[in-house]
Amino acid sequence: MHRLPFSAIAVAALVLFVHAAPDRAASPVLAPLDTLAPDLEALYSDLHRNPELSFHEEKTAAKMAERLRAAGFEVTTGVGRTGLVGVLRNGKGPTVMVRTDLDGLPVEEKTGLPDASKATTTDDSGETVSVMHACGHDIHMTSWVGAATLLSKARERWRGTLVFVGQPAEERGGGAAAMLKDGLFTRFPKPDFAIALHDSASLPAGQIEYVPGYALANVDSVDITIFGRGGHGAYPHTTVDPIVIAARTIMALQTIVARENSPLDPAVVTVGSIHGGTKHNIIPDEVRLQLTVRSYKDDVRKRLLAAIARIAKAEAAGAGAPKEPEIAVTDGTPATYNDPALTRRIAAALSRSFGEKNVLEGEPVMGGEDFSEYGRAGVPALIFWVGAVEPARFEKAKASGAPLPSLHSSEFAPDRRPTIRTGVSALTLAALELLGKP
């Protein structure tokens, strides 16, 4: 691949950043973004090359802390284990929290890009794994740094307090809860509003999407161990076969959504793995199931989990199992609810700058995000999406029906320059909308 000298790279990055700007994003506060463009792209490339797993984001957090300090923020590190909080006070006015997530995923990158991650690490189970920013958290962090820098430079245009939060372990779903437990809303100014963005693998770069109300789902992982009495496969009458019990259980679980849940309340019960047995002619002593369970409403969540336990126990009892199944619910995150009034307010502000055709209302999905924890802690909150797909590639895929690499894919590669520019601009303008005016 032909490599340009540094000065040419900087000029090329600047030109692409300028030309990627939405036609109507003309706020004077955004003017320095053109100058910041090469530095932001260099930061993105560094973050992309050097991802870290959940609750191990020490170097990543240090980089974010350094950037915030340079922008004039008071920075505290080690919040919620590896998180950080930056506070910038600028007179009397609202307190606005802007969150980014820090962690990468145990995925081997296969994009073939010059700055592709080749990082490996030892995970919490002792296994050596590859690490990649396959969900765009490097885009989020770069946009967050850009917004912090622009807002700091424009202090004459707003009044209030900014709380910039670098959150660990979003991918594991425990980072937000850890920061709240460590005093995020007591040790630091409690926000009047909380905002965040997420890149999207199903939107073209330059577009923004928002969803009022429920936007992302409750997420629960359920582990079920079904016990039987093993023996020879040729003499099944001498055994209690846990594989048969598991098969009956899996089929019965499908009736929860189909027959016990209102069709007006979205819900998902998926058995993602089943493990049992070692050989053709051996009936095992136990079988393990792993489920993911999704919903929006708390009462639906409670009902789904209760039904799963009831069905698993009933199928075991009906088969004469020697003991009840063991059922464990782990890794839960609550549904993300975007405050409707806040969502409409920010959407209107972004539409004025980006144009209505580029700021679209989307549909809720069954993915999960622990950004939800901040809203449940009593703060009006909004997470919105910025497109990350190169527009020509998006249109080609749309026309042909060919799938694009999704988030968490080893081949996910955002169209970085326009995506970062949109992210920086959107976070900056959203915060300005909420902050007090001089």
pLDDT surpassing 90 at residue 391: yes
For residue 330, the model assigns a pLDDT of 87
**pLDDT tens sequence across 174-224:** 999 999 999 999 999 999 999 999 999 999 999 999 999 999 999 999 999
Which residue, of 315, 333, 351, is where some domain finishes? Answer: 333
Per-residue pLDDT band at 26 (split at 50, 70, 90): low
For residue 18, the model assigns a pLDDT of 39
Say if residue 123 is in the same domain as residue 27.
yes
For residue 331, the model assigns a pLDDT of 72
The answer to whether residue 165 is domain-embedded is: yes
The answer to whether residue 1 is domain-embedded is: no
Per-residue pLDDT band at 432 (split at 50, 70, 90): very high
pLDDT surpassing 70 at residue 99: yes
pLDDT surpassing 60 at residue 6: no
Say if residue 35 is in the same domain as residue 120.
yes
pLDDT surpassing 60 at residue 118: yes
User: How much is the average pLDDT of 41-53?
Assistant: 98
Largest CA distance in the chain: 83
Say if residue 50 is in the same domain as residue 175.
yes
User: How much is the average pLDDT of 300-308?
Assistant: 98
Say if residue 353 is in the same domain as residue 290.
no
For residue 280, the model assigns a pLDDT of 97
Indicate the number of domains in the chain. Answer: 2
Where in the sequence is the domain holding 250, given as residue range(s)? 218-333
Catalytic residues: 103, 170
Report whether 239 contacts 229 (CB < 8 A): yes
The answer to whether residue 11 is domain-embedded is: yes
Say if residue 76 is in the same domain as residue 157.
yes
Say if residue 187 is in the same domain as residue 175.
yes
Q: What is the 3-state secondary structure (H, E, C) of the chain?
A: CCCCCHHHHHHHHHHHHHHCCCCCCCCHHHCCHHHHHHHHHHHHHHHHHCCCCCCCCHHHHHHHHHHHHHCCCEEEEEECCCEEEEEEEECCCCEEEEEEECCCECCCCCCCCCCCCCCEEECCCCCEEECECCCCHHHHHHHHHHHHHHHHHCHHHCEEEEEEEEECCCCCCCHHHHHHHCCCCCCCCCCCEEEEEEEEEEEECCCEEECCEEEECEEEEEEEEEECECEECCCHHHCECHHHHHHHHHHHHHHHHHHHCCCCCCEEEEEEEEEECCCCCEECCEEEEEEEEEECCHHHHHHHHHHHHHHHHHHHHHCCCCCCCEEEEEEEECCEEECHHHHHHHHHHHHHHHCHHHEEECCCCCCCCCCHHHHHCCCCEEEEEEEEECHHHHHHHHHHCCCCCCCCCCCCCCCHHHHHHHHHHHHHHHHHHHCECC
Q: When comparing pLDDT for 90 and 19, which is higher?
A: 90
What's 228's domain CATH number?
3.30.70.360
What's 398's domain CATH number?
3.40.630.10
**pLDDT exceeding 70 applies to what percent of the chain?**
94
Say if residue 53 is in the same domain as residue 143.
yes
Q: Which of 338, 258, 339, 335 is nearest to 297 (CA)?
A: 335
User: How much is the average pLDDT of 419-433?
Assistant: 98
The answer to whether residue 203 is domain-embedded is: yes
Say if residue 260 is in the same domain as residue 169.
no
User: How much is the average pLDDT of 247-252?
Assistant: 98
User: How is residue 213 written in tokens?
Assistant: 């109300």
Distance CA 312, CA 248 (A): 9
- In DSSP terms, 330 is beta-bridged to 221
Say if residue 23 is in the same domain as residue 169.
yes
Which residue, of 309, 333, 357, is where some domain finishes? Answer: 333
For residue 332, the model assigns a pLDDT of 86
pLDDT surpassing 50 at residue 5: no
For residue 21, the model assigns a pLDDT of 54
Say if residue 175 is in the same domain as residue 53.
yes
Say if residue 147 is in the same domain as residue 294.
no
Which residue, of 333, 364, 383, is where some domain finishes? Answer: 333
Say if residue 176 is in the same domain as residue 201.
yes
pLDDT surpassing 60 at residue 405: yes
Side by side, the strands of the sheet bearing 74-79 are 74-79, 83-90, 160-167, 95-101, 193-204, 381-389, 208-210, 359-361
